[in-house]
Structure 1
């Protein structure tokens, strides 16, 4: 169960009664309304819901990109809500991996330099064997001295996955990671992601609107009006789409 009943040490990420409110008074918008959720170590969780349900806000609060209005966010044993900005930046750099729809690769750097960037920013030494291990984990078969602009969309997203994994983060957060890819390439990348999570016992939280993408996760959480209203263990895309239809999107 993805509920906040275990101790912090048994989970990679935990949210306790997290609320996020934008604005005040009658104009206030409650993007998250008392969300409690736990991501066990090594789990792969998808988050789905109608537009405006709070999916991105959940990801941003869970990863330390945004601060909740109230409640606790634990990354391992670190309470993110109580940290100063400098400490929060350090944790995001060293203990969290991010993958976005737009890849966010730097064209001035080679593939290898893009993958190693989080290590350089954290002032951590590394050797090429580490980069090679991560490249193999995401099944990337391109010359490491190539520039991202010379790669296909699927290859670029694998570079982004490798970059997110290179620090061996406590958790990896993915925001619509296949949204810019065609259907066939998206399925290939999702398969790579699923196998990388399994091999590395990597905890991952993925926001997606796509039932096919969600079908690769161990658990699917459904949000509506800032609250978790349901969850399903690993299911077919058809079953997930059917459940989504009752939330007003499908």
Structure 2
């Protein structure tokens, strides 16, 4: 772990709609995450988890506030943002988003080729071995299990050595065994390779694999838990729900 800041949000606000139909998805959220850390983001449905990820990753522009990845502000034209995301941001979603006509190797190297860069065969081989797919290079997605497909998606996110990887419910479509393997892989990526990872999840067991958990409610950060256990996360979520119910939310 280093003291280098990988991600910073300064007063980020995101509003959907206008007038009476206005919905505040994020309300002046500020946070700082060091490089080489694994952070889970949790909260009730509608708390702003996915919006936080979208804004932090540069997929949505905040209504107000600023976002910095690896010290650089996410600003500029859509073309500039797309180029920056290709080089500095990795994504892993619940849906694997693999191209069925491409092999494992072709899917994993796609971001590099889209960026117009030379494929580093050594780096690709290292990543595929890391995720346990070194012997599946010529397979296509339909020839793999769900857990293997998600590992392809993780390898695709890792291969460019991004500043931050954002994972949105990445284990939601997996069985327990595959989910556990994916979460262990995330931990290895952080601890062994110094990757920075932000995981949005509703699952206390998944969140317990992170170094710390941020809790969101009503578009605000309302709690922080270091060295989480599944039991502690579940208890905090329960109290969070009770607090919201008490406020009539």
TM surpasses 0.5: yes
Q: Which residue of 1 aligns with 2:165?
A: 172
CA RMSD in angstroms, aligned pairs only: 1.3
Instruction: Report how far residue 77 of structure 1 moved.
Output: 2.1
Residues paired across the two proteins, number:
240
Equivalence map 1:90-169=2 (5 Å): 90-169=83-162
Aligned 8 A contact 1:115 1:162 in 2 = yes
- Which structure 2 residue ranges, 5 or more long, are not aligned? 243-249
- Partners in 2 of 1:222 and 1:77 — Cα distance? 24
Instruction: Report how far residue 188 of structure 1 moved.
Output: 1.4
Q: Which residue of 1 aligns with 2:30?
A: 36
**209-218 vs 142-151, which moves further:** 142-151
Residue in structure 2 matching 1:46, options 34, 40, 44? 40
What is the TM-score with the length of structure 1 in the denominator? 0.93
What is the TM-score with the length of structure 2 in the denominator? 0.93
Deviations 1:143-163 (A, max 9, x none): 200101100011111100000
SS for the counterpart of 1:201 is: coil
Q: Which residue of 2 aligns with 1:68?
A: 62
Instruction: Report how far residue 141 of structure 1 moved.
Output: 4.8
- The 4+ residue runs of structure 1 with deviation greater than 3 A are none
Aligned 8 A contact 1:41 1:203 in 2 = yes
Deviations 1:3-22 (A, max 9, x none): xxxxxx93111000000001
Deviations 1:87-112 (A, max 9, x none): 00101111110000011011110000
- Partners in 2 of 1:78 and 1:41 — Cα distance? 14
**140-149 vs 225-234, which moves further:** 140-149
Residue in structure 1 matching 2:80, options 84, 87, 103? 87
Residue in structure 2 matching 1:213, options 199, 206, 211? 206
- Partners in 1 of 2:236 and 2:18 — Cα distance? 33
SS for the counterpart of 2:206 is: helix
Aligned 8 A contact 2:207 2:230 in 1 = yes
Deviations 1:62-97 (A, max 9, x none): 0000000000000112211x3111100101111110
